[in-house]
Structure 1
Amino acid sequence: MLKKILSSIGIGSAKVDTQLSKTVYTAGETMEGVIVIEGGKTEQQIDEIYLSLMSTYIREVDDNKVNETALLEKYKLVDSLIVSPNEVKRIPFHIPLPFDVPITKGKTKVWIQTGLDIKMAIDPQDRDYIEVQPHPLVESFLQTVNSLGFSLREVKCEEASRALRRKYPFVQEFEFKPTSGLFKGRLDELEVIFFTSEHQVEVILEIDRKALGLRGFLAEALERDETLVRFTFNSHDIPALSQTLVNIINKYS
């Protein structure tokens, strides 16, 4: 009886360890691994085993920036099982990463959190950080922007406005500075947001024009120097992507 009571408050209970086949993934790729459950001192019933894909973003509260945690996906692996004292169970899994998972540049972190749901107990958890690389279409866009003389200055996840909110409560912003090429001296910066699916990317461009002369300074003071442009592209559009971007930026800069 004493052992069962101790187990119910998390003393001597089961332990969980998630072992991923690797730690670097591309958005949309399938993650593979094994969940290892090591039984405690008493038999325990596990009602559910789940993996949660987590990330962080910044939210502004009363002019202060607060770090928040976001649940991106939750994967239920097992409904119910019994773990005997000192027993080791190994549960393999294959789960897909979303195509729009944020990439781990800048301060953005992404991790897998493993949980065991044990009634009347402190649920054991395990956290494993992963590196997420861009979807191939997004990677093509980033390379194209770089070839036009833009340098990536910052990547950050921030709370999304109502107009830009989709699946997650945040968007990931990529901020570029024109350091060479056609747009050096014409733009202050170029900010980009991606909404990525398997075969297509919707791009939101914020083109921040450089203030030139009195009219430019007045426009900048009134925050009218920024233009939002939306367009989509897929793999067939990549050969013309550079010219597409040049045409869009020229039109609004």
Structure 2
Amino acid sequence: MTLFVDTVLHEPHVRPGTMLPGCVHLRAGIRPADIEHVTLVVEASDGVTVIRHRVATGVQVRAGRSRSIPFLLPLPWETPVTRIGDRSLGPTSVGLRTLVAGDAGAGAEKEDPEPDPMAVHPLPGHRRVLDAVRRLGYRLESTGFGHRSLPGVRRSLPFFQEFRFRPGPRHAGPSTGLRVAVVANPVGVDAVVETEGPDGALEQAHFTVRHTDGPPAPDR
């Protein structure tokens, strides 16, 4: 299948639970391209798949011609946050890949050569959770993904985002770090806080923070 694929995001700065607008541009070479389907895949770092969404089926592009497919991709509420204000939450990243599959006689699956990076900003519930931890004197150290069970938390994805904190200079408690697992939904954010107790045992607490609880913390 002789086909050139280019995906353009109209707004790469998004929030979980919103729509990602963009357009897939297709251009055939010297032969026509018969396309079985065009699929968008939102992937996070470590190869974690957030969502797969088919945006077109049965598309034909005549030889030497171009065709564009606009889309509005619904992002899950549990999409990982990658940026707070002007700070990138590396190494966590989220990008969009475009897969184009030809019919049985058209050749192998093709894709846009480079994933399109996305900046996912926090929801108000995320910001309130993170701001509450900062007020306790902790500093954000890193982010990553967890796959373990979170009792009492309803999830739609097989993973969750986890924020890891270390005590800062204003922290008055024990000098142990903590982990905060966050799972967002349309109403708010479930936060599961894990820390090491005085006897070395892991202690866990579950909090629910609504997006509308009090004034939002600044996105920083």
Fold shared by both chains (TM-score > 0.5): yes
What amino acid maps onto 2:130 in structure 1?
Answer: L
Compared CA separation, residues 106 and 184, structure 1 to 2 (3 A): farther
Aligned twin of 1:134: 122
Structure 1 position 23, deviation (Å): 2.1
Aligned twin of 1:96: 74
More helix by share: 1
Structure 1 position 150, deviation (Å): 1.6
Aligned twin of 1:230: 206
Aligned twin of 1:10: none
Aligned twin of 1:63: none
CA contact 2:36–2:57 (8 Å) conserved in 1: yes
CA distance, structure 1, for counterparts of residue 172 and residue 66 of structure 2: 60
State how 1:103-182 maps to structure 2 within 5 Å.
103-104=81-82, 105-119=89-103, 120=105, 121-126=107-112, 127-158=115-146, 160-163=147-150, 166-181=155-170
CA distance, structure 2, for counterparts of residue 100 and residue 139 of structure 1: 14
What amino acid maps onto 2:108 in structure 1?
Answer: I
CA contact 1:50–1:76 (8 Å) conserved in 2: yes
State how 1:1-253 maps to structure 2 within 5 Å.
7=1, 13-57=2-46, 69-104=47-82, 105-119=89-103, 120=105, 121-126=107-112, 127-158=115-146, 160-163=147-150, 166-181=155-170, 183-209=171-197, 216=198, 219-220=199-200, 224=201, 226-238=202-214
Structure 1 length-normalised TM: 0.73
- Counting aligned pairs with the same residue, the percent is 25
**Structure 2: runs of 5+ lacking an equivalent:** 83-88
What amino acid maps onto 1:137 in structure 2?
Answer: G
Q: Number of residue pairs matched? A: 205
Structure 2 residue matching 1:184: 3-state secondary structure: coil
Structure 2 length-normalised TM: 0.84
Looking at CA atoms only, which structure, 1 or 2, has the larger radius of gyration? Answer: 1
Compared CA separation, residues 166 and 198, structure 1 to 2 (3 A): closer
Structure 1 position 168, deviation (Å): 3.2
Structure 1 position 76, deviation (Å): 1.1
Structure 2 residue matching 1:233: 3-state secondary structure: strand
Structure 1 position 157, deviation (Å): 1.8
CA distance, structure 2, for counterparts of residue 166 and residue 198 of structure 1: 12
CA distance, structure 2, for counterparts of residue 125 and residue 107 of structure 1: 24
What amino acid maps onto 1:124 in structure 2?
Answer: K
What amino acid maps onto 2:109 in structure 1?
Answer: D
Compared CA separation, residues 180 and 238, structure 1 to 2 (3 A): farther
Structure 1 position 70, deviation (Å): 2.2
CA distance, structure 2, for counterparts of residue 71 and residue 96 of structure 1: 14
CA RMSD of aligned residues (A): 2.3
1:169-201 deviation per Cα after TM superposition (whole angstroms, max 9, x unaligned): 3332111123244x4242412210011101121
Aligned twin of 2:85: none
CA distance, structure 2, for counterparts of residue 92 and residue 38 of structure 1: 15
**Structure 1: runs of 5+ lacking an equivalent:** 1-6, 8-12, 58-68, 210-215, 242-253
